[in-house]
């Protein structure tokens, strides 16, 4: 991205980094010479990432909804590579169903893996982000912005992540820590599993997209995240960037 030693030496923590968009971000960071702790509940996929990318990666298995996972991941980053300057909160689980068919367990799942996990990782990483002048990228969704049917708990969790990110951006700007949000659209394993249950909605997303296609995690989303992590975006904080082919145009 910048080609500077400063950028190459950076240490990152990426949740949900074993698959999909998270995996694309991990690959892009390692290609830039960064060192990355990959956090995911999928132990097999996590081990495969380390086998593929090598010594610049470490894998921490666990559920991001458990606060202990954040503490373990940040400690592993410090121990293996040094204080993290980058935190990317990608992991998210949710169940789709019409609002009247969703219950407390659905909200616990979406908020636990989305809002609470993001909050826990930000708190755990904060002392090190303070030291390094770090950058945080959190993940939200056009589903939250537009109110997509069947996504009540997911949309609520994702909009909560955006609110949390804006407060952190305000409170931490003076400390040199930036916090931004990306809302992607990309064909990943998670999306394909959803598409099997909701084929019409899957087709509808392409039909309504100005660019007429699903995004690619490596080519269309990871570069936007790397921009937000790099010094190229040093005057940006509290922003939501849509990496979605123009599907939602913020004003």
Ligand X SMILES: NC(=O)c1ccc[n+]([C@@H]2O[C@H](COP(=O)([O-])OP(=O)(O)OC[C@H]3O[C@@H](n4cnc5c(N)ncnc54)[C@H](O)[C@@H]3O)[C@@H](O)[C@H]2O)c1
Question: By the criterion CB under 6 A, which residues form the site for ligand X?
Answer: 16, 18-22, 40-42, 45, 63-65, 90-93, 113, 139, 141, 183-186, 188-191
Annotated catalytic residue, options 119, 154, 172, 214? 154
d(CA 57, CA 8): 14
* Cβ-based nearer residue to ligand X, 7 or 16: 16
Distances (CA, A) of 216 to 21, 25, 33, 213, 219: 9, 12, 22, 9, 5
Radius of gyration of the chain (CA): 17
In the complex, what is the shortest distance from the CB of residue 6 to ligand X, in angstroms, rounded to a whole number?
27
CB burial string 158-179: b at 16+ within 10 A, e below: bbbbbebbbebbeebeeeebbb
Q: How far is the CB of 157 from ligand X (least distance, A)?
A: 9
Angle at 183 between CA 181 and CA 185, to 5 degrees: 155
The nearest distance, CB 18 to ligand X, in angstroms, is 4
Q: Is 154 a catalytic residue?
A: yes
Residue among 12 and 16 whose Cβ is closer to ligand X:
16
Secondary structure letter of residue 119 according to DSSP: H
**Minimum CB distance to ligand X smaller for 177 or for 182:** 182
Give the residue with the Cβ less far from ligand X, 7 or 242. Answer: 242
**In angstroms, what is the minimal distance from the CB of 208 to ligand X?**
13
Asked whether the CA dihedral 210, 28, 180, 13 is positive or negative, the reply is positive
Residues taking part in catalysis: 154
């Amino acid at each position: 991205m910048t080609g500077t030693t400063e950028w190459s030496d950076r240490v990152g923590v990426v949740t949900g980094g074993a698959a999909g968009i998270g995996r694309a971000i991990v690959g892009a960071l390692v290609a830039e010479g960064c060192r990355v702790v990959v956090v995911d509940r999928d132990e097999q996929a996590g081990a495969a990432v380390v086998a593929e990318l090598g010594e610049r990666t470490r894998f921490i298995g666990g559920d991001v909804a458990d606060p202990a996972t954040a503490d373990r991941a940040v400690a592993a980053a410090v121990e293996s590579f040094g204080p993290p300057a980058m935190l990317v909160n990608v992991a998210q689980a949710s169940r789709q169903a019409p609002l009247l068919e969703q219950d407390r367990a659905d909200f616990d799942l979406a908020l636990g893996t989305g809002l609470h996990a993001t909050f826990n990782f930000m708190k755990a990483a904060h002392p090190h982000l303070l030291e390094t002048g770090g950058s945080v990228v959190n993940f939200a969704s056009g589903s939250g912005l537009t109110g997509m049917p069947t996504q009540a708990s997911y949309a609520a969790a994702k909009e909560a992540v955006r609110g949390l990110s804006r407060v952190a951006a305000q409170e931490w700007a003076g400390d040199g820590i930036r916090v931004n949000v990306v809302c992607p659209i990309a064909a990943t394993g998670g999306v394909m599993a959803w598409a099997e249950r909701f084929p019409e909605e899957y087709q509808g997303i392409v039909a309504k997209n100005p660019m007429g296609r699903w995004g690619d995690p490596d080519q269309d989303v990871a570069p936007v995240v790397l921009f937000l992590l790099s010094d190229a975006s040093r005057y940006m904080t509290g922003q939501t960037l849509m990496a979605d082919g123009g599907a939602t145009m913020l004003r």
